[in-house]
């Protein structure tokens, strides 16, 4: 989103954040109000919509795909989550046509980097490998519907929301001709004479408690900020994208990705301070997110958030 603010307004804003007071009344470590709702798209296997400060709006949807692959070319288990980020022209006019493609690829690449060890921090993700040569591929498609700052933060929340909403069918694997296997959906029977299609398929869910959050930490003046609004983004000197995964039982943190993006120079001390701030912010968001995921009421299937 383009914002035009004068030099004096910028100076006012910079002096404000340096004394820990932002224009909307937040302190440097505060986030805007967040809205997270799951099950918003009926055509997906898992979906989530996140709104940050009523203006950044992100929609994530997961499509599952049973993929067969060559076991000789890929002997080791690979990370099955694939990201695709799409900026709609509604978010900003600069994304009209193919304008957002490159940027979207870059953001998706950052998420790939942050989730490159997802097999480690999602304990049951290895279950997506259903048989030798067959696995569930998780296609995560993210659309930026509205953009008013800090969209990577919103995307990372939407990604975790969608992963927690994702239901993966249980399958039965039976050997087949020619050394291959046949994969059939598992339908538990409890007696009776029901037709096969009427028996619901058994589903399982991912454990998302340790999924990394990708947060932007920005340097404005001498202050470090999280969750910048567009006015603040026009004053940024340098920005770090920090991915942190938390181990809730041991209170341990792992950094899965740090990227300095968008130009700008940073002192070493600043980098460490910014990572520390990201860690602090991650802790608070993890708590809020866990609470929300527990207490959220399920939507009726078939209703989109637009209704």
Chain residues in the site for other proteins (CB under 8 A)? 102, 105-106, 108-110, 112-113, 116-117, 120-121, 238, 240, 244-245, 252-268, 271-272, 275, 279
- Nearer CB in complex with other proteins: 218/256: 256
Q: Which helix (H) or strand (E) holds 246?
A: strand 238-247
Least gap, CB of 36 to other proteins (angstroms): 25
Work out how close the CB of 278 gets to other proteins at its nearest, in angstroms, rounded to a whole number.
10
Query: Which is closer to other proteins, CB of 134 or CB of 147?
Result: 147
**How far is residue 165's CA from residue 293's CA, in Å, rounded to a whole number?**
9
How would you classify the pairing of strands 167-169 and 171-175? unpaired
CB of 247 to other proteins, least distance (A): 10
| CB of 173 closer than 8 Å to CB of 183 | yes
Q: Which is nearer to other proteins, 79 or 304 (CB)?
A: 79
Q: Shortest CA distance to 66 belongs to which of 129, 137, 125? A: 137
Nearer to other proteins, 101 or 172 (CB): 101
Of 83 and 134, the one with the shorter C-beta distance to other proteins is 83
Q: Closest approach of Cβ 124 to other proteins, in Å?
A: 18
When the beta carbons of 179 and 263 are compared against other proteins, the nearer one is 263
Least separation in angstroms between residue 129's CB and other proteins is: 20
Which segments of 99-183 does DSSP mark as H helices, in order?
Answer: 101-114, 118-121, 151-165
Provide the token pair at 266.
């940073």
Q: State both tokens at 204.
A: 């399982």
Nearest-angstrom CA–CA distance, 138 and 83: 9
| Cα gap 177→33, rounded to integer Å | 56
Return the CA Rg of the chain. 22
Min separation Cβ 82 and other proteins, Å: 9
Counting other chains too, the contacts that 20-27 makes at CB distance below 8 Å and 24 or more residues apart are 20/223, 22/225, 22/232, 23/229, 23/231, 23/232, 24/229
3-class DSSP state for residue 169? strand
Q: Considering the complex, state which of residue 87 and residue 121 has its C-beta at the smaller distance from other proteins.
A: 121
Asked if residue 231 lies in contact with residue 26, where contact means CB atoms within 8 angstroms, the answer is: no
Please tell me the distance from the alpha carbon of residue 247 to that of residue 245, in angstroms, as a whole number.
7
Least distance in angstroms from the C-beta of 80 to other proteins? 14
Give the nearer residue to other proteins in terms of CB position, either 161 or 212. Answer: 212
- Shortest Å distance, C-beta 75 to other proteins: 13
Residue 262 is given by DSSP the state: S
């Amino acid at each position: 989103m383009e914002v035009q603010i004068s030099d004096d307004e910028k100076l006012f804003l910079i002096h404000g954040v340096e004394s820990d007071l932002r224009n909307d009344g937040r302190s440097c470590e505060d986030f805007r109000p967040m809205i997270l709702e799951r099950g918003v798209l009926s055509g997906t296997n898992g979906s989530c919509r996140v709104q940050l400060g009523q203006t950044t709006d992100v929609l994530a949807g997961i499509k599952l795909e049973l993929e067969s692959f060559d076991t000789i070319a890929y002997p080791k288990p690979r990370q099955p989550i694939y990201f695709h980020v799409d900026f709609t022209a509604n978010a900003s006019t600069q994304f009209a046509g193919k304008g957002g493609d490159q940027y979207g690829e870059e953001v998706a690449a950052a998420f790939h980097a942050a989730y490159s060890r997802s097999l480690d921090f999602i304990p049951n993700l290895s279950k997506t490998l259903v048989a030798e040569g067959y696995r569930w591929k998780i296609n995560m498609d993210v659309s930026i519907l509205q953009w008013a700052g800090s969209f990577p933060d919103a995307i990372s929340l939407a990604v975790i929301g969608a992963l927690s909403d994702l239901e993966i069918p249980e399958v039965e694997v039976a050997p087949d001709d020619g050394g291959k296997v046949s994969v059939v959906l598992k339908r538990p029977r409890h007696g009776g004479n029901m037709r096969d299609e009427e028996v619901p398929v058994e589903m399982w869910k991912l454990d998302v408690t340790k999924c990394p959050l990708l947060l932007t930490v920005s340097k404005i003046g001498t202050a470090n900020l999280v969750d910048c609004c567009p006015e603040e983004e026009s004053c940024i000197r340098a920005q770090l994208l920090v991915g942190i995964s938390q181990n809730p039982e041991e209170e341990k943190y792992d950094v899965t990705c740090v990227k300095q993006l968008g130009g700008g120079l940073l002192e070493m001390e600043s980098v460490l301070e910014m990572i520390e701030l990201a860690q602090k912010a991650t802790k608070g968001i993890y708590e809020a997110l866990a609470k929300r995921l527990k207490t959220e009421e399920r939507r009726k299937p078939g209703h989109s958030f637009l209704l």
